[in-house]
Structure 1
Amino acid sequence: MERGWLVVLLGVVCWCAGAAGVELTFELPDNAKECFYEEIEKGTASSLEFQVVTGGHYDVDVVLEGPSRQILYREIKQQYGQFQFTPETTGTYQVCFSNEFSTFSHKLIYVDFQVGDEPQLPGVGEHFTAMTQMESSSQKIHEDLNSVIDYQTHHRLREAQSRKRAEDLNERVLFWAVGETLGILVITVGQVMVLKNFFADKKGNQASY
């Protein structure tokens, strides 16, 4: 399968000091289920975000479970979802994406499972005195750049989704045009054959006299 237009959505796994998580795009086959696991400490702010980029009716089942198999978050046949939580216990948390209800449609899914806060710039916040104007500006630029990255990711997802829909629409229009062309050719040939039979009958009747 050609997925050159989805190069920008290649999976990236990010592990950072003070913040961990996974951000990737993966393909979920029909009648399949995929799970991701994350070790989370008690009281660590975490967030889950997902979006179905392509495939079928753009829907998927999502379940987030805690260490004791308790269900923290569940969505049935959803295209997009976001959930923020703070674990009350330390352990392994899992999020599962299910496409078992689909018999032939593969899904392309983007998932962002983040644990902890974004670490500050090196050297910023390591001293007890107030930050200088330069440090404050650097931290603000750092936060703005992270926001830009998030916006770019969502715009790329939206662009990929729109491109896929446009390609599907173009394919349907092409098939419809080919079908109409074949129908016109069949009708044209049929009309010629019918007219030809009319003239052949007249010649036969004239010959009998």
Structure 2
Amino acid sequence: MRVLYCHLEVLICFHPGEILEVSRACDFLTFGYPCHPVIKMCGAHHVRVLVQVLWAHLLFGWVFGSELTFELPDNAKQCFYEDITIGTKCTLEFQVVTGGHYDVDCRLEDSDGTVLYKEMKKQYDSFTFTAAKNGTYKFCFSNEFSTFTHKTVYFDFQVGEDPPLFPNENRVTALTQMESACVSIHEALKSVIDYQTHFRLREGQGRSRAEDLNTRVAFWSIGEAFILLVVSISQVVLLRSFFSDKKTTTTRVGS
């Protein structure tokens, strides 16, 4: 939190050499070392670090695959395509959020049509592979086995690995205190995003199950109420028939 706060302070620095007025609130944030010496002077190095951080986030948005939630109708099949170079490590993760028994068929093929992954009626799964050839890879989700239930499917297809946040991160040279803090924050935020995604999926699936259960209970209650009403009316009619006076009529037959 201390470094995040200080990093936000750096955002307001536009001119090298400008003195920042750091709030004393920074002293109450606990990250293990003082805050003021880190960004007391906003120099060209700090501006360069900020630009590198923003550029790394832009690269992260362009390089790494796709994440999507879509509706899959009954008796339908949906395919997606991704261009992948040889030697790239990829991960496909999916989960059925709503619909039926929360299952779907998944199939992954390489550019030559070779099946790399195939599972039937899976609720969720994760598959990691390394591309053995260049080309367009295809992965499909099928709901063809379902006759009347559509599904909501989430998938996350990650292509490649994170580029280093700073150019010299993988070198022998040591990172500065601010660069190390930025790397730690970057990794922590990625973990937070992953946790938020999984909890959001679990919440959506739980809400769908609860709504489905509520609908079933409501219809069952209406059915029971209707049956109870019919039985009550039938009993009343039957009891009235026991106590009703039957009038007998005589008919004379004339000669």
Pair in the same fold by TM > 0.5: yes
Alpha-carbon shift at residue 16 of structure 1 (Å): 3.5
Letter in 2 for 1:106: H
Residue by residue over 1:8-50, the C-alpha shift from the partner in whole angstroms, topping out at 9 and shown as x without a partner, is: xxxxxx9737722010000011111111111111111111000
Q: Where does residue 94 of structure 2 map in the other structure?
A: 50
Q: Where does residue 35 of structure 1 map in the other structure?
A: 79
Determine the C-alpha separation between the residues in 2 that align with 1:15 and 1:50.
Answer: 24
8 Å Cα contact 1:15/1:21 also seen in 2: no
Determine the C-alpha separation between the residues in 1 that align with 2:209 and 2:84.
Answer: 37
Structure that is richer in strand per residue: 1
Higher Cα radius of gyration: 2
8 Å Cα contact 2:95/2:124 also seen in 1: yes
Determine the C-alpha separation between the residues in 1 that align with 2:106 and 2:176.
Answer: 45
- Secondary structure of the residue aligned to 2:95 is strand
Alpha-carbon shift at residue 137 of structure 1 (Å): 1.6
Determine the C-alpha separation between the residues in 2 that align with 1:101 and 1:131.
Answer: 55
Q: Where does residue 183 of structure 1 map in the other structure?
A: 227
- Superposed, 1:11-160 pairs within 5 Å as 16=60, 19-121=63-165, 125=169, 129-160=173-204
Determine the C-alpha separation between the residues in 2 that align with 1:18 and 1:125.
Answer: 20
Q: Does 1:167 align with 2:198?
A: no
Determine the C-alpha separation between the residues in 2 that align with 1:49 and 1:143.
Answer: 20
8 Å Cα contact 2:164/2:170 also seen in 1: no
Percent pairwise identity = 57
| Root mean square deviation of aligned Cα | 2.2
**In the superposition, relative to structure 1, how do residues 16 and 138 fare at CA in structure 2: closer, same or farther (>3 Å)?**
closer
Residue by residue over 1:40-73, the C-alpha shift from the partner in whole angstroms, topping out at 9 and shown as x without a partner, is: 1111111100001111111111111001110111
Letter in 2 for 1:84: T
8 Å Cα contact 1:31/1:103 also seen in 2: yes
- Secondary structure of the residue aligned to 1:109 is strand
Segments of 5+ residues of structure 1 without an aligned counterpart are 1-13
**In the superposition, relative to structure 1, how do residues 15 and 66 fare at CA in structure 2: closer, same or farther (>3 Å)?**
farther
Q: Where does residue 31 of structure 2 map in the other structure?
A: none
Determine the C-alpha separation between the residues in 1 that align with 2:179 and 2:228.
Answer: 72
Letter in 2 for 1:57: H
Determine the C-alpha separation between the residues in 2 that align with 1:198 and 1:90.
Answer: 87
**In the superposition, relative to structure 1, how do residues 98 and 153 fare at CA in structure 2: closer, same or farther (>3 Å)?**
same
Determine the C-alpha separation between the residues in 1 that align with 2:235 and 2:217.
Answer: 27
In the superposition, the TM-score normalised over structure 2's length comes to 0.71
Segments of 5+ residues of structure 2 without an aligned counterpart are 1-57, 251-255
Residue by residue over 1:111-156, the C-alpha shift from the partner in whole angstroms, topping out at 9 and shown as x without a partner, is: 1011011233356638762111221121011011011101100100
Aligned residues: 193
Determine the C-alpha separation between the residues in 1 that align with 2:70 and 2:130.
Answer: 26
Determine the C-alpha separation between the residues in 2 that align with 1:38 and 1:47.
Answer: 12
In the superposition, the TM-score normalised over structure 1's length comes to 0.85
8 Å Cα contact 1:20/1:115 also seen in 2: yes
Q: Where does residue 204 of structure 1 map in the other structure?
A: 246
8 Å Cα contact 2:68/2:156 also seen in 1: yes
- Secondary structure of the residue aligned to 2:140 is strand
- Secondary structure of the residue aligned to 1:16 is helix
Determine the C-alpha separation between the residues in 1 that align with 2:189 and 2:121.
Answer: 33
